[in-house]
Amino acid sequence: MRYRERMYEYHTLPNGIKIILSHTPSRVTYSGVYINVGSRDEHGAEEGTAHFIEHSLFKGTEHRRAYHILNRIDGVGGELNAFTTKEETCVYASSLSEHLERCLELFADILFHSTFPQNEIEHEKEVVLEEIDSYKDTPSELIYDEYEELAYEGHPLGHNILGSRRNVKRFTPEGLRSFMREHYTPERMVITVSGNVTMERLVKLCERHFGEYKRGQGRVKESRGERPEFRLFDRHINRHTHQAHMLIGCEAPDIYHADKTAFSLLNNILGGPAMNSRLNVAVREHYGFCYNIESQYVPFSDTGLFYIYAGVDPGAQEKAHKLICNELLDIASHALSERQLRLAQRQMIGQMAVNDDYGLNEMQSIGKAYLCYEHVNTLEEMEADLMAVTTTDLLRVAQERFNPDHFSTLVYGN
């Protein structure tokens, strides 16, 4: 398969901020800053802080009020947004190429000069509290958070990204600023850009707007604590829902593990986005037991999770569970044929190419990859890694991971 030629360029500022550029001819440029901090880095009363900061970065700086922050990008037709995960925070924007400096300057302002005005913070607390409550009305989303809390009980990785209502109500501007000073430091940041700009210009812009900030003295990446232990459980929680919501999962390879590529392919075969995934065909297409069934693989820095989610008719819950277990047993007992392997590889390569063709996805994926690996593979390199996976590799990994005794289950139902 041939792709448009892609070359990534790298640079590191003296203060430790890393820069990665994917040069494209598009008039639209996608830019962002990845920060190596997430909900896993919170402890006790801090839980929910990273997510709350993500919300509140746009509420005021030493140089701008909330309106001026939002209008800075929206006013030229761009879009400004952010998100928080267990291990990263990202602030990003889409804009015309001529407005790239506007985006970078704003990123620096909100990341190093946010003031968190008290009145704005009180208003944002209500927004986040409503977000927390909204999850209670969405069992298909809530079940993931509750599953992780059970799987990593007592470990920061299991904490809900949103935090608790009690914690959110207690957040103060001083506490938010203190958390940022400790964690949002240059050596934890990656500036990622996909667009029509030269590396020389990008470096000059980054030096202009980010170069003055000094390395931090806070907790570093390696101090995230002990590796979490995946706990086994089989829990049924009574909830008044139309469907039974089922989540079955096990421990999976971490982001640096040699089996990561093979496991990603297994996940795609079992319950990836394509309609011909094994689980979709076996449970939905053949029997009509559910509307939605999918699997997900989420690798973290020192562990990983594999989930299978299904929203099923309550009367078919046990049958659906048996069909899912049968698929796991089959893929761990019978090697794929060479033809099946090639079809699965070709499908996943196509999905990667389609996803990469959208500049926002590319900007985010290379930023995260550079944050984790300090290098980004091209599509050609990723294809080569994927094509190197053998039927023997897949069978070995499936046998190691898909042991029925290694799975934990959470069900919402009546």
Per-residue pLDDT of the chain (414 residues; tens, 9 = 90+): 334 446 799 999 999 999 999 999 999 999 999 999 999 999 999 999 999 999 999 999 999 999 999 999 999 999 999 999 999 999 999 999 999 999 999 999 999 999 999 999 999 999 999 999 998 889 999 999 999 999 999 999 999 999 999 999 999 999 999 999 999 999 999 999 999 999 999 999 999 999 999 987 644 455 577 899 999 999 999 988 889 999 999 999 999 999 999 999 999 999 999 889 999 999 998 888 888 999 999 999 999 999 999 999 999 999 999 999 999 999 999 999 999 999 999 999 999 988 887 889 999 999 999 999 999 999 899 999 999 999 999 999 999 999 988 999 999 987
Strands 189-195 and 18-23: parallel
Please name which of 333, 340, 279 lies closest in space to residue 311, comparing C-alpha atoms.
279
Q: Which residues contact 179 (CB under 8 A, 6 or more apart)?
A: 46, 49, 50, 53
Q: HSE (CB half, 13 Å, CA atoms) of 358?
A: 9
Please name which of 316, 320, 308 lies closest in space to residue 248, comparing C-alpha atoms.
308
Q: Is 8-219 CATH 3.40.718.10? A: no
Strands 290-299 and 18-23: unpaired
Cα–chain center distance at 408: 22
- List, in sequence order, every beta strand (DSSP E) within 121-182: none
> CA angle, 181 as apex, 114 and 126 as ends, to 5°?
50
**Helix or strand run (H / E) with residue 89:** strand 89-96
**Helix or strand run (H / E) with residue 126:** helix 118-136
CATH 3.30.830.10 location in the chain:
8-219, 234-413
For residue 358, give the DSSP letter: S
Considering the domain 234-413 in this protein, what is its CATH number?
A: 3.30.830.10
